[in-house]
Structure 1
Amino acid sequence: MKEITPQMATMLKTGQFARTACPALLFAIVCAVGSAVWAQSNAITITLTGQSMIRSDIRVTAPAEVPVIQALLKGDVIFTNLESAVAEKGETIQEGRGFLTPPEALDALKTCGFNLLALSGNHAFDLRVTGIRNTLREADKRKMVHAGTGNNLGAAVAPGYLHTPKGTVALIASASGLITPGGSATADRPGVNELRVEAGDKENEATDDLPGAPANTPNLEDSQRILQSIRDARQHADLVIVYQHNHVFGNHSFATIFTEGMEERLAPNDWLKKWTHEEID
């Protein structure tokens, strides 16, 4: 098994760049390692950060922060979740609120050192299909490896592959809860690779409190699709990273947990821990 030297970077605290939040609230990352045996000198170093809620080109708006961020981001693989939708000049959110960022913000992320992006999240669809397409186009234009959204469901669940001198790393990304209606990718519609979570016979979108202690279970169709993608990735990569963007917290809504500072926000929910073990196995 290849040795991994992870640098678990804290969420970046430059206000215009990222929002500080507890890991359980936003993501769980697991690694599935291939069977290859590699020498110590070829150990791959991975830096994992939380979400980048970036709304501007920080090289312009906060230039002093860039070298600080660069100093934190060392390694062969440098990961973040882009928690924004790319908007071209003049494009705005039609209703509600959300997170949009200009294409140049991706240049800033690349300058900081990021080379692996999860695009799945509840804000990925803030500009609807246009935002999905914008983000995919601009990430591809900059040759930034990504996963989690796509022009259809097959593309959204497909692994992204980052080739490094020390090995190939695959990324699979999905999201649960608070997905805007219509934001899930389908066979013929761009969107997010959504992992729906069900409480008994009721789907839990984390928007309403549910009575009792529901048996939260990942949707069978969604979970099988993601597990198959993991199996496929293991055939083509030395290391597989699986990213889960989560807003489903059992019998309480995200809003309740967040505003009331409930303890549930500090650790992964039981359903997420069980699901993570399934992904690893």
Structure 2
Amino acid sequence: MLLPRIAQARDKRALRVMLLGQSLIQRAICDDGWPGMAAIAALLRRADVVFTDLETPIEGASAGEPTRSDATLHRAPPAVLDCLKALGVTLVTTANNHAWDLGTGGILSTIDALDRRGIVHAGSGRDLDTAAAPAIQQTPHGGFALVAAAAGAIRPGAAAAVDHPGVNEVRRRDDGSLEPEDVARVLAAIRTARASGATVLMCLHNHYWEPVQSDTPAWQKAFARACIDAGAAAFVGHGTPAMQRHEFHRGAPLFHGLGNFVFQTRKADGAYGASAWRSVIVDARFNGRFVDARFHPIRLDATKRREYSSGAPELAPSGAP
């Protein structure tokens, strides 16, 4: 469906971007394929940019020992990146609470694996400057920049520092407000990216959840609006395994929660409600600013296979929730 604020014809000259939910992908599902794979890939490959949240560290020579010991440990072989790339993914955020599941070395092995495959990424780095910096994907229709950060559940040692690899963390103070230094760093990166002439996407992976996961905290809404004011053309939120409502600020969309695109969990069947297995692909167009967007509903396969849920997406029938 077309977002209701748009009544104009779609501009074929605009930059086309697919915005996906988070990808908790721990095995390369493309090797075996699944019934909806071809249709998903055909849709995504029409875009100039395909964006997702890589919610797992990638194994490699530099990866460390696991920093978790339960079903919430995320880790994946490099082949999962080949799978995402084959589906059409070109741009990822690596800023999330699972980036450190294989320690600091896992953050570095993930960066190296993405670089080798030419997948543009932002949100973690070898130091704070690189973790906070915008990443720009060049397209025939101009540059598309990503600024990415994570808030909540960032464990000691996982955040980037001046002399330490990690994720770009936005901290929350005891009074519930965001740390001004962290907010200023994010907004400065957005301004830098916009000054380069690129269209800018801001992504926040948030684990400061509300009691009802489909609710968006007021502070996130305010932060998202500040990102638009700084020059972002759109805001995307990840973190909760469920969708949240979208809104607009100064004509720019705030997609506060896009749920999941791939969801391979080791947790017991039924650990997540039905909302974890439904999402949308946001098919958006930009021309420096937001032009329009369509929603393509998807459903994820919750069937357990080889320890993990399949988690594979397929396009849902038109009009599905």
- Structure with more strand by fraction: 2
The equivalent position to 2:56 in structure 1, one of 61, 64, 84, is: 84
The equivalent position to 1:153 in structure 2, one of 117, 128, 133, is: 128
The equivalent position to 1:269 in structure 2, one of 186, 200, 217, is: 217
**1:44, 1:166 within 8 Å by CA — same for their partners in 2?**
yes
Change in Cα spacing, 1:152 to 1:63, as seen in structure 2 (3 Å) is: same
Tell me, in whole angstroms, the C-alpha distance in 2 between the residues paired with 1:45 and 1:219: 34
Q: Which amino acid aligns with 1:270?
A: A
Which residue is 2:247 aligned to?
none
Q: Which amino acid aligns with 2:110?
A: T
Which residue is 1:278 aligned to?
226
TM-superposed CA distance for 1:56, in Å, is 1.2
The equivalent position to 2:196 in structure 1, one of 236, 249, 255, is: 236
Which residue is 2:208 aligned to?
248
Give secondary structure in 2 for the equivalent of 1:46. Answer: strand
Tell me, in whole angstroms, the C-alpha distance in 2 between the residues paired with 1:188 and 1:63: 44
Tell me, in whole angstroms, the C-alpha distance in 2 between the residues paired with 1:69 and 1:197: 37
Work out whether 1:50 is the aligned partner of 2:21.
yes
**1:87, 1:101 within 8 Å by CA — same for their partners in 2?**
yes
Tell me, in whole angstroms, the C-alpha distance in 2 between the residues paired with 1:178 and 1:108: 28
Tell me, in whole angstroms, the C-alpha distance in 2 between the residues paired with 1:95 and 1:248: 20
**2:148, 2:204 within 8 Å by CA — same for their partners in 1?**
yes
Tell me, in whole angstroms, the C-alpha distance in 1 between the residues paired with 2:150 and 2:112: 20
Change in Cα spacing, 1:61 to 1:197, as seen in structure 2 (3 Å) is: farther
Q: How does 1:1-281 map to 2 (within 5 A)?
A: 40-62=11-33, 64-73=35-44, 74-88=46-60, 93-97=66-70, 98-200=73-175, 216-249=176-209, 257=211, 262=212, 265-281=213-229
Tell me, in whole angstroms, the C-alpha distance in 2 between the residues paired with 1:110 and 1:7: 27
Q: Which moved more, 1:85-94 or 1:217-226?
A: 85-94
Q: Which amino acid aligns with 2:225?
A: H
Tell me, in whole angstroms, the C-alpha distance in 1 between the residues paired with 2:48 and 2:67: 39
Identity of aligned residues (%): 36
TM-superposed CA distance for 1:7, in Å, is 8.5
Tell me, in whole angstroms, the C-alpha distance in 1 between the residues paired with 2:67 and 2:12: 52
**2:64, 2:104 within 8 Å by CA — same for their partners in 1?**
no
TM-superposed CA distance for 1:158, in Å, is 0.4
**2:95, 2:205 within 8 Å by CA — same for their partners in 1?**
yes
TM-superposed CA distance for 1:45, in Å, is 1.1
Q: Which amino acid aligns with 2:190?
A: I
Q: Deviations over 1:229-281 (max 9, x none)?
A: 111001113310000000113xx6xxxx3xxxx3xx11310000011111111
RMSD: 2.2
Tell me, in whole angstroms, the C-alpha distance in 2 between the residues paired with 1:193 and 1:72: 31
Segments of 5+ residues of structure 2 without an aligned counterpart are 4-9, 230-321
Change in Cα spacing, 1:109 to 1:271, as seen in structure 2 (3 Å) is: same
Tell me, in whole angstroms, the C-alpha distance in 2 between the residues paired with 1:149 and 1:184: 9
Q: Which amino acid aligns with 1:109?
A: L
Tell me, in whole angstroms, the C-alpha distance in 2 between the residues paired with 1:179 and 1:197: 11
Q: Deviations over 1:27-76 (max 9, x none)?
A: xxxxxxxxxxxx94421111100100000112224454531331342311
**1:51, 1:82 within 8 Å by CA — same for their partners in 2?**
yes
Q: Which amino acid aligns with 2:86?
A: T
TM-superposed CA distance for 1:94, in Å, is 4.9
**1:161, 1:237 within 8 Å by CA — same for their partners in 2?**
no
Q: Deviations over 1:113-134 (max 9, x none)?
A: 0001011100011001111001
Q: TM-score, normalised by structure 2?
A: 0.64
Segments of 5+ residues of structure 1 without an aligned counterpart are 1-5, 9-38, 201-215
Give secondary structure in 1 for the equivalent of 2:216. Answer: coil
